[in-house]
């Protein structure tokens, strides 16, 4: 009986492992070896690096420790494809990842096959309580994160090419110009429990469950649209220092920001670059690729504010986890649907919160090198919630904490407004 | 009767105004015109600038709005000594403040007298409820902040001079090598009220009062000593990436940090530079001039953590606000006293918390240009609590939130450890 | 009769055009599309860019002006593959050339075929005196320069890959440890003519012929070896400020230079990275990939100096233009032969002179956009003479002036010593 | 008899020593201690540093070697006021010279008196052939160079102050708008001798005398005026890449140059900042504070070129060395006089040549630390000739080679045009 359950869990794991690995292969299919090799900025990585590094993760944390006498695919890969795990050893310089033209993309696909074959064998042998199971689960979720990063990074790379290549063909249909009106939902004050109890998979940064007190608040029932953000631009938002955080105002001026990252004016008409190329801006679609600073300034201009991550989680807690997630037939955020008391909570765009990314009360890092997974990044970044249109389905959840620096814009980040209730 | 009260409050205000202004004059007395003119780094300002800008504050926010036909002391000063108030107008470039050799120090002292005379006249005329009273109170507290900054900045400037000049003569006495042992105090979980109700003066960032839930925690009954921090150094703390936040590890390596900001090795013996010159390191005195990153790494090495600002405030709430504050006969942090259930909570060194400097729930900025005072800095910085040995007496309080970037070290910042209680 | 000569010249030109174009194709044959796409530093360009830009040169300066109704291969290429010709129009950002993953390498090979076909047609139609002939000649020489740059850039790219890939297989044989002893040749003082009369092809920077007076001097009969340079290193050359130009000493310290660009210590043994991979340092081979600063410091340490470009040209004027030029079976500088009154004057390594790259007396730039070819670079650079082991055969000549910034090291640059004669 | 001559020379030397030292004191008299302490950019030094360093020169190279048991004025000064002599020892960081508020200006004036007294004693004892005499002569010339630098640096500092303080009172009178027309003078080709024979004092970089062949050339009989340069600006000179050297075009765009360094538009009217404050631009006065790049671009726009340093020297060789040199009643370059076959050759503005600053044939550096005086700067800089309105009288000469980087603008540098003669 227990054996059957173990077998079932093992089979499920094997299936999810293979599906996840296969999705990565699908994602790079539209890319040439050249596309997959180049790094467009230090924050981004080559697609080839992503699919090598996710393989490295399984090789390093599973095969090297579980397989006796495991022979690495290539001795240098431990160094070359280690992202940031000092506990494993030294790392090849991050801003130089794009210089590694050899091993080739084909070599890395061979690396994937080599590791997948051995991982298949390994999963076969696992007992129900084997700690390797949790590490494989972590590796699957880790690869999903890199699938999203891979699409973010390719979008950034292609955006710098004056030919504006498309990752996928076919510009999205433009919606009717008027989005469903924005409504506000009220939440009363009180104490609640937040974070994950860890009964199903979560990252360490979502733990432990803990109490937090919330004041009453209002929150918008959909995210901000391109049309609404354009009104901010047209009202001189990028030229009004009083709307901005001081650090944000410095960044705006240093980089001469005038619009979201991928907006372009073509003959006086606003366009947006997406994974489907350059096309006219859809005013009803969510504004996307804004920094925390821009989200915060827009909210101030709107006489509102960003929600805290606790507020967001309270709102999301009772909702069904449906949304516009990674789907090769879409790949762009979509306008809000007409119905539903909350729209776009999950998927479409990550939603900036005004919560700094800090450890939850009682947070502990895992022992060993995987303890470096999340904890060491808990400074200077802000939390985003909800997932986006390039987040693999099933990857995000109510307690999921994404995080980026307040100046970052290349992730699919948008805005949901909140407000204090008069007291 | 009401008139008498108003007169009393007015007299008190006049007295406090004069005392505060006089303290600034006292603080620059040991400085030559050259000392007062130079800027040692973009984060710092010349002493002359501090005493001009604090005067500008009263001229701009009081005299210009309250005095009809006020004639400015000098037309260019509105531009020259505006720190960051975009609502007032453009500002002279901050990193270039040290280039302003003219007006001279004597000119600025004349500016102070000019403004003080008119401020004296203005205070005479104020009725009890005049909103100018709150602005004068703000101006006094503003000048106190700059008094601390002035000493921080002079210390930094003198530290870069190979002759190590002293601001005040006489090295501090070295304490007995063994500090009173560190004890831990336990606090139980529960909900509480935090922040200031604003009945007496506070900065806007301390408001509004709000509820917050705290888990049970332990906190150290004194701050970390130089001797304890030296053990961290000797154990290779600055060479162990696993102890550090990722951003901190980058900063450590970029700047080749090996010790707190003002530690110097002289013939193999650790010395510390203070406002009293270069002298042997006092192992019992509080470690000071560490960044948030160093505080955090030290705490991790100690199998502890930094407190949150809420934890600190709960601990401090019931304590008497005594401590080693600005006193020209001291000017250095002192070793912990032997007695007392908490030592050094107030004064000696500002204590890093792991709380990011974000707005309290329900926070509103003040209308007008003074609304830029605090709110626009609420990103990327961390909260420090308690005051230090160069904070003017009476300036800090239980709810006071100081803030610096996690890499800043030139403020008098130290470390108090905290721990989770097992759950 | 005249027609026959014109036909002959045309046929020769067609043949040289095709051979040159074919050599570029041969040079990229060992490269993958990934190798050809990446840019390792702002000074370098992707191999794909080199073969596109050399094609652009013919398209822009020949086909667009000579062919009526010429239809460009791709509209965006005028912008994308313009290097620095402001007279032609705007240019895609140089440091970002490596971001252009599309057009693909295959697309660019198609571009080459398209242009080559039309160029073949064009050459057919040219009369003897057609000014296009000179432009085609320039284009051929231009492409030869980019052939050398392509190999320099690939070497640099591969050197940053910890796997040290080889462009060509087979490490060079190590020579006998003792090179033929260095001899000195004396030249008497006098006035002479220098530069090119322009009867056969030369670049504009070699003109006009002009008189120059030279003092008597001595010059070495071979270039400096790795072994000799190693003695400089072992004598603390990189740590002795008195040996260096002031700017050079700054660069040495800023970049922590300790040896020539491609020297690597492997387990305490000096190796050199070449187009044939990483292999033990050949002490008899010429030192290569040193900056002007290193060449100058080495000369000072040797109680000698670098020659002027006039001294070099006088020495070279009467010599046969043989040497170790681009040859896919070699690709590395070779030790000096035993015989010959001068060795390695041509080929092996470019020889730094102490002459700044300035216009010759009477220099005029050509009219039109090709006037930007050389003249606008005549500041801050130093002249090198003689050609190297990756210079295409037939490309260099006695009057040829190569030029690089004094800190540049990725070109194949070496050292020939000179000395004043006692007066 | 010989004794009398020695005494005379000694007396002359003593007199010139005292006069030179006195001039430095005169130059700083208008400065406050604050003015004298601050450093406006890394290229500049504080006035206090200049007067300390010139004193250090005599202390280090004369008193320390000639006086037995010399007791230094202050032990730390050897380090603190060493500019760049690695042969003497380590140096305090150059960009941080402005941080040294202590020693005070008064302390440094005391240092000057201390050294002057001992130097007076030393000169008394010198025999005619004592090598110290040459070093004192060098020290005098060295101090004259720093007198010019001091005025350059103060001008730069004051220019960054929005109050535009004046070093000397009284704006210069504006000349009649039309300058005397520019004429051209022709020189025939031929070989000549250049450089200094060293019979009277010169710097090492002017030696040895050597032959050089010159082509025939034309040269302007006065320097370029502000009015002529304004026509270049109004013709879009700063926006036309084809007029510029490639490196110059980069600098123009990086720094957004639109006019010479000290030109300012006030309500649409061009003004110039000088040591006499901000005043309307004198169109007849020489253009000043242009970089080599601007001088070169202006010359190209004028269908002319800059002269070589040899051409300049040939022209100047037979002229009387009169001109507008340092004179506290002037301090600005003056319009050309109406008469004279050459005007402004000496004084007014240094004249950019297109000659790179490289060693003359046969150049040898002096032995010892003073060998670092000039030779190590012989890369990346361009030669200027003739002296300017802040060069001390008697300091410059026909063979004098001044040198600055091509992007430098804070020296008093102007433009004299030259042209090739048709051949």
DSSP D167-215: SSSSPPPPPPSSPPPP-EEEE--EEEEES--SSS---GGG-S-EEEEE-
Predicted pLDDT of residue C179:
64
Tokens representing residue D190 in the block: 């031929």
What average pLDDT does this structure show over C389-405? 98
pLDDT digits (tens, 9 = 90+) for D321-344: 999 999 999 999 999 988 777 899
Give the C-alpha distances (Å, rounded to integers) separating A57 from A18, A52, C103.
Answer: 15, 9, 33
**A in contact with D (at least 3 C-beta pairs within 8 A):** no
Reported as a pLDDT band with limits 50, 70 and 90, residue C177 is low
Given a cut of 70, is residue D1 above it in pLDDT? Answer: no
Residues on chain D touching C86 (C-beta within 8 angstroms): 241-242
SS3 C383: strand
Q: Which of A49, A326, A39 is nearest to A157 (CA)?
A: A39
Q: For A159, which residue in chain C has the nearest alpha carbon?
A: C99
Predicted pLDDT of residue A129:
85
Burial class (CB in 10 A: 0-12, 13-18, 19+), C127: exposed
In terms of DSSP bridges, do strands C350-356 and C413-414 run parallel, antiparallel, or are they unpaired? parallel
Q: For D166, which residue in chain B has the nearest alpha carbon?
A: B102
What average pLDDT does this structure show over C410-422? 95
Q: How far is C254 from chain A (nearest CA, A)?
A: 19
Low-confidence ranges of chain A (pLDDT < 70): 1-3, 176-179, 423
pLDDT digits (tens, 9 = 90+) for A187-239: 999 999 999 987 899 999 999 999 999 999 999 999 999 999 999 999 999 99
- Sorted by sequence, the CB contacts under 8 Å of residue D280 that are 6+ apart come out as D174, D269, D270, D271, D272
pLDDT digits (tens, 9 = 90+) for D53-81: 999 999 999 999 998 889 999 999 999 99
Q: How far is D31 from chain B (nearest CA, A)?
A: 10
Greater confidence (B18 vs C180) lies with B18
pLDDT digits (tens, 9 = 90+) for B141-183: 999 999 999 999 999 999 999 999 999 998 888 776 666 789 9
Residues on chain A touching C163 (C-beta within 8 angstroms): 76, 80, 102-103
| CB-closest option in D35, D80, D96 to B160 | D96
Predicted pLDDT of residue C136:
97
What average pLDDT does this structure show over B337-354? 91
What average pLDDT does this structure show over C319-341? 92
Top mean-pLDDT range of A80-94, C167-181, C241-255, C336-350: C241-255
Predicted pLDDT of residue C126:
92
CA distance B218 to B202: 28
Reported as a pLDDT band with limits 50, 70 and 90, residue B123 is very high
Q: Is C369 on the interface with D (CB under 8 A)?
A: no
Residues on chain D touching C208 (C-beta within 8 angstroms): 423
Q: Is B376 on the interface with A (CB under 8 A)?
A: yes
Q: For A240, which residue in chain B has the nearest alpha carbon?
A: B86
Q: How far is B206 from chain A (nearest CA, A)?
A: 16
- Sorted by sequence, the CB contacts under 8 Å of residue B408 that are 6+ apart come out as B43, B291, B292
In terms of DSSP bridges, do strands A269-274 and A277-280 run parallel, antiparallel, or are they unpaired? antiparallel
- Asked if the Cβ–Cβ distance from C33 to A35 is below 8 Å, we say no
Given a cut of 90, is residue D180 above it in pLDDT? Answer: no
Predicted pLDDT of residue B5:
74
- Asked if the Cβ–Cβ distance from A379 to B248 is below 8 Å, we say yes
> Which one of A98, A99, A277, A278 would you mutate to disrupt binding with C, by most C Cβ within 10 Å of its Cβ?
A99
| CB-closest option in C35, C160, C163 to A76 | C163
Interface C-D: count of C-beta contacts within 8 A: 84
A290 and A299 in contact (C-beta within 8 Å)?
A: no
Interface A-C: count of C-beta contacts within 8 A: 79
In terms of DSSP bridges, do strands D418-420 and D217-220 run parallel, antiparallel, or are they unpaired? antiparallel
Q: Work out the mean pLDDT of chain D and round it to a whole number.
A: 94
Q: Which of B342, B325, C321, A101 is nearest to B334 (CA)?
A: B325
Q: Work out the mean pLDDT of chain C and round it to a whole number.
A: 94
Residues on chain C touching A36 (C-beta within 8 angstroms): 34
- Asked if the Cβ–Cβ distance from B379 to A293 is below 8 Å, we say yes
CA distance B153 to B42: 11
Predicted pLDDT of residue A406:
98
- Asked if the Cβ–Cβ distance from D37 to B101 is below 8 Å, we say yes
CA distance A222 to A214: 21
Residues on chain D touching B37 (C-beta within 8 angstroms): 34, 37-38, 101
- Asked if the Cβ–Cβ distance from B423 to A362 is below 8 Å, we say yes
Reported as a pLDDT band with limits 50, 70 and 90, residue C354 is very high
- Asked if the Cβ–Cβ distance from B245 to A376 is below 8 Å, we say yes
pLDDT digits (tens, 9 = 90+) for D185-228: 999 999 999 999 878 999 999 999 999 999 999 999 999 999 99
Q: For D303, which residue in chain C has the nearest alpha carbon?
A: C364
* 3-state class percentages of chain D: helix first, strand second, coil last, to nearest 5: 40, 15, 50
Q: Is C160 on the interface with A (CB under 8 A)?
A: yes
Predicted pLDDT of residue D341:
78
pTM of the predicted protein model:
0.96
Terminal CA-to-CA distance of chain C, rounded, Å? 58
Predicted pLDDT of residue A338:
80
Q: Which of A268-272, B117-121, B362-366, D142-146 has the lowest mean pLDDT?
A: B362-366
Classify residue A33 as left (phi > 0), alpha (psi -120 to 50) or beta: alpha
CA distance C75 to B159: 61
Residues on chain B touching D107 (C-beta within 8 angstroms): none
- In sequence order, which ranges of D64-193 are alpha helices (DSSP H)? 64-66, 77-80, 105-125, 131-159
User: In the complex, which subunits touch D with 3 or more CB pairs below 8 angstroms?
Assistant: B, C
Residues on chain C touching A162 (C-beta within 8 angstroms): 76, 79-80, 92
- Sorted by sequence, the CB contacts under 8 Å of residue B246 that are 6+ apart come out as A84, A376, A377, A379
D17 and D136 in contact (C-beta within 8 Å)?
A: yes
Residues on chain D touching C247 (C-beta within 8 angstroms): 377, 379-380
pLDDT digits (tens, 9 = 90+) for D274-325: 999 999 999 999 999 999 999 999 999 999 999 999 999 999 998 999 999 9
Predicted pLDDT of residue A109:
98
What average pLDDT does this structure show over C109-136? 94
- Sorted by sequence, the CB contacts under 8 Å of residue B268 that are 6+ apart come out as none
Predicted pLDDT of residue D285:
96
What average pLDDT does this structure show over B312-340? 93
Q: How far is C380 from chain D (nearest CA, A)?
A: 5
Predicted pLDDT of residue A177:
63
- Asked if the Cβ–Cβ distance from B99 to D35 is below 8 Å, we say no
Q: Is D108 on the interface with B (CB under 8 A)?
A: no
Q: For A361, which residue in chain B has the nearest alpha carbon?
A: B215
Tokens representing residue D228 in the block: 């002529």
Q: Which of C120-129, C411-420, D169-178, D333-342 has the lowest mean pLDDT?
A: D169-178
Predicted pLDDT of residue B53:
98
Q: How far is B54 from chain D (nearest CA, A)?
A: 20
**A in contact with C (at least 3 C-beta pairs within 8 A):** yes
- Asked if the Cβ–Cβ distance from B102 to D161 is below 8 Å, we say yes
Calculate what percentage of chain A has a pLDDT beyond 90: 87
CB under 8 A, 24+ apart: contacts of C307-310 = C307/C217, C307/C219, C307/C351, C307/C353, C307/C354, C307/C416, C307/C417, C307/C418, C308/C214, C308/C353, C308/C354, C308/C355, C308/C418, C308/D361, C309/C353, C309/C355, C309/C383, C309/C385, C309/C401, C310/C192, C310/C194, C310/C212, C310/C214, C310/C355
Greater confidence (C341 vs B286) lies with B286
Predicted pLDDT of residue D177:
63
B273 and B247 in contact (C-beta within 8 Å)?
A: no
Residues on chain C touching A32 (C-beta within 8 angstroms): 33, 101-102, 104
Given a cut of 90, is residue B23 above it in pLDDT? Answer: yes
> Which one of B188, B207, B303, B361 would you mutate to disrupt binding with A, by most A Cβ within 10 Å of its Cβ?
B361
Predicted pLDDT of residue B423:
56
In terms of DSSP bridges, do strands D413-414 and D350-356 run parallel, antiparallel, or are they unpaired? parallel
Residues on chain C touching A92 (C-beta within 8 angstroms): 162
Tokens representing residue A63 in the block: 């095969």
ipTM of the complex, rounded to two decimals:
0.95
Element (H, E) at D16: helix D2-28
**B in contact with A (at least 3 C-beta pairs within 8 A):** yes
Q: Which of C129-133, C142-146, C269-273 has the lowest mean pLDDT?
A: C129-133
What residues pair up with A208 in beta bridges, in sequence order? none
Predicted pLDDT of residue D340:
77
Q: Which of A125-134, C47-56, D263-272, D356-365 has the lowest mean pLDDT?
A: A125-134
- Asked if the Cβ–Cβ distance from C247 to D379 is below 8 Å, we say yes
Give the C-alpha distances (Å, rounded to integers) separating B391 from B150, B323, D58.
Answer: 11, 10, 47
CA distance D227 to D225: 5
Residues on chain C touching A96 (C-beta within 8 angstroms): 160
Calculate what percentage of chain B has a pLDDT beyond 90: 87
- Asked if the Cβ–Cβ distance from A376 to B246 is below 8 Å, we say yes
Q: Work out the mean pLDDT of chain B and round it to a whole number.
A: 94
Calculate what percentage of chain D has a pLDDT beyond 90: 87
Q: Is A98 on the interface with C (CB under 8 A)?
A: yes
pLDDT digits (tens, 9 = 90+) for D79-107: 999 999 999 999 999 999 999 999 999 99
Burial class (CB in 10 A: 0-12, 13-18, 19+), D423: exposed
Predicted pLDDT of residue B128:
83
- Asked if the Cβ–Cβ distance from A358 to B358 is below 8 Å, we say no
Predicted pLDDT of residue D368:
78
């Amino acid at each position: 009986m227990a054996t059957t359950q173990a077998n079932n869990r093992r089979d499920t794991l094997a299936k999810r492992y293979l599906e996840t690995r296969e999705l990565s292969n699908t994602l790079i299919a539209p890319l040439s070896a050249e596309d997959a090799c180049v790094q467009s900025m230090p924050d981004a990585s080559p697609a080839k690096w992503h699919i090598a590094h996710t393989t490295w993760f399984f090789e390093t944390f599973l095969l090297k420790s579980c397989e006796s006498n495991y022979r690495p695919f290539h001795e240098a890969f431990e160094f070359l494809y280690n992202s940031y795990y000092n506990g494993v050893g030294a790392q090849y310089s991050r801003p130089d990842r794009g210089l590694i033209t050899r091993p080739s993309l084909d070599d890395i696909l061979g690396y994937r096959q080599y590791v997948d074959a051995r991982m298949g064998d390994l999963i076969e042998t696992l007992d129900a309580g084997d700690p390797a199971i949790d590490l494989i689960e972590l590796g699957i979720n880790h690869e999903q994160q890199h699938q999203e990063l891979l699409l973010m990074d390719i979008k950034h790379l292609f955006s710098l090419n004056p030919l504006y290549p498309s990752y996928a063909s076919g510009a999205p249909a433009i919606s009717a110009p008027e989005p469903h009106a924005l409504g506000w939902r009220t939440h009363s004050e009180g104490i609640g429990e937040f974070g994950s109890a860890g009964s199903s998979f979560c990252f360490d940064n979502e733990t432990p469950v803990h109490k937090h007190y919330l004041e009453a608040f209002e929150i918008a029932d959909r995210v901000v649209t391109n049309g609404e953000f354009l009104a901010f631009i047209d009202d001189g938002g990028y030229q009004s220092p009083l709307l901005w955080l001081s650090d944000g105002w410095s960044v705006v001026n240093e980089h001469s920001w005038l619009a979201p990252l991928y907006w372009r004016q073509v003959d006086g008409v606003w366009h947006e670059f997406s994974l489907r190329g350059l096309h006219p801006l859809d005013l009803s679609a969510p504004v996307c690729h804004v920094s925390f600073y821009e989200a915060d300034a827009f909210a101030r201009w709107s006489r509102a504010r960003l929600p805290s991550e606790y507020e967001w989680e309270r709102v999301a807690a009772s909702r069904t986890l449906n949304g516009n997630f990674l789907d090769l037939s879409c790949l762009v955020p979509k306008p809000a649907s007409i119905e539903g008391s909350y729209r776009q909570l999950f998927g479409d765009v990550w939603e900036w919160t005004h919560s700094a990314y800090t450890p939850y009360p009682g947070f502990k890092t895992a022992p060993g090198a995987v303890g470096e997974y999340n904890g060491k990044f808990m400074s200077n970044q802000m939390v985003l919630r909800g997932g986006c249109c390039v987040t693999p389905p099933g990857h995000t959840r109510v307690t999921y904490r994404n995080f980026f620096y307040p100046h970052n814009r290349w992730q699919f980040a948008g805005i949901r407004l909140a407000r204090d209730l008069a007291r």
